[in-house]
Amino acid sequence: MRIIEESELIINPDGSIYHLNLLPEHLADDIIVVGDPQRVEIISNYFDDIEYKIYNREFVTHTGHLNGKRLTVLATGIGTDNIDIVMNELDAIVNIDLKTRQIKKERKSLNIVRLGTSGALQKDIPVDSFVFSSYGLGLDGLLNFYEGNQNVIEKEMTNEFISFSNWDEEFSRPYIVKASSSLEDRISRGMYKGITATAPGFYGPQGRQLRLKLANENINKTLETFNFNNHLITNFEMETSAIYGLGKLLGHKTATVCAIIANRYSRTYSKDHKKTVVKLIETLLDRLTK
């Protein structure tokens, strides 16, 4: 059986995984991931008890119980590069023996739900509403680095988007991956649903122009008008596609829910986005624990 080299799987002196600084006992099977480290404590304040609080760089983890359900909330930081770290290390914690560096024979599947903020791309999705990402559209290119990526993407939808957008070959090849159906059934009631576009940046990749001119000034218009079998691109953010793609490759169930704090079409912004995020937190916790 293969032993994973020290340079490939880095373990801290205390036996924990390198970036997340976690041991297997620190992790629940149901995990909420957020971008903002400060949001971890906002969520864990709802817990009935907290077993662990672990901090390393931007990666903050709290694990505890709510309504008899064990939950972990973990800050990932921003971007698909951080998600690459988080998803691989979460999987390693449960599916690799960190002492022997060998892959376990029996594989464990985690439920991983991203709770984030986002900007809507459709005029009829109001600020302060919630969107469930039925699909993640990756403009980031991350999944292309992994063998087997073609086995988990929605090929017809992906190819239709590439054709419709006349995608520039100098950009990373897009990919579209579906959310976990079981998590969608459990979480999405009463939310807007659609395709969430994941960008590799906040400014140019999302069509924002400050001093630098854009290589593709029509990217937002393209996203707003794409329609595949009545599936529209509902919103922009920076993590979902990597969570969905790596999650499916590794055998985990994944989902994203976002509070809409801006509408890029109408150029409006929430007057109290923190209140909207709190409402989404309460909604998600209720649906995960009851």
184-194 confidence digits (pLDDT tens): 999 999 999 99
The CATH number of the domain covering residues in 116-267: 3.40.50.1580
pLDDT digits (tens, 9 = 90+) for 199-209: 999 999 999 99
Identical fold between 1-108 and 116-267: yes
Average pLDDT value over all residues in the chain = 96
Residue spans of beta strands (DSSP E) within 30-129: 30-34, 49-56, 59-66, 69-75, 96-97, 102-103, 111-120
Q: Domain 1-108: state its class.
A: alpha beta
Sorted by where each begins, the domain ranges of the chain are 1-108, 116-267
Are the CB atoms for 75 and 82 separated by under 8 Å? no
What are 54's strand-pairing partners? 61
The whole-number pLDDT of residue 267 equals 79
The whole-number pLDDT of residue 46 equals 98
The whole-number pLDDT of residue 271 equals 85
Whole-prediction pTM: 0.96
Given a cut of 90, is residue 269 above it in pLDDT? Answer: no
Confidence of residue 270 (pLDDT cuts 50, 70, 90): confident
Confidence of residue 238 (pLDDT cuts 50, 70, 90): very high
Residues 162-183, mean pLDDT to the nearest whole number: 96
Which H helix or E strand runs over 130? strand 130-138
The whole-number pLDDT of residue 66 equals 98
